[in-house]
Amino acid sequence: MKPSITILLADDEAILLIDYEHALIAAGFAVIAVSSGAKAIAALDETPIQGVITDVRFAAPPEGWEVGRAARRTDPEMPVVYVSGHGSAEWPIEGVPNSIMLEKPFAMAQLVTAISQLLNARSVPNSSS
């Protein structure tokens, strides 16, 4: 049996957090859902994570951009998907390289596809060794 891939999911809008979590679980991922950037950064230090999906704007700092940078400090190739209703203009400057930005609203299938695409791209080099 293939081990489960754990996704760290961070959004401070409860209904969106629940919707995203359900979509990811239905797609076969294990999910650690948190409601702030600070909790997301703490989770990176506490649990093995294979991918991150984070909102850009939280009610209190740090923002999702910092969550992405913290994830890359943990693992330089960590797949990162940003979601935002109004942060996409900042993504080329603030986002980590090789990340994906989804503008709200989007279909849940787009969320699953985005993180899957990054996870698959990451596994390609390892599969030939």
The three-class DSSP label of residue 68 is helix
Domain ranges in the chain are: 6-122
Q: What is the pLDDT of residues 60-69, one digit of tens each?
A: 999 999 999 9
H or E segment and range at residue 128: none
Q: What is the pLDDT of residues 15-56, one digit of tens each?
A: 999 999 999 999 999 999 999 999 999 999 999 999 999 999
pLDDT band at 126 (very low <50, low <70, confident <90, very high): very low
Q: What is the CATH number of domain 6-122?
A: 3.40.50.2300
Sign, Cα dihedral of 14, 38, 32, 95: positive
The pLDDT score that the predictor gives to residue 88 is 85
Separation between Cα atoms, residue 54 and residue 40, nearest integer Å: 8
pTM passes above 0.75: yes
The pLDDT score that the predictor gives to residue 129 is 38
Mean pLDDT of the chain: 92
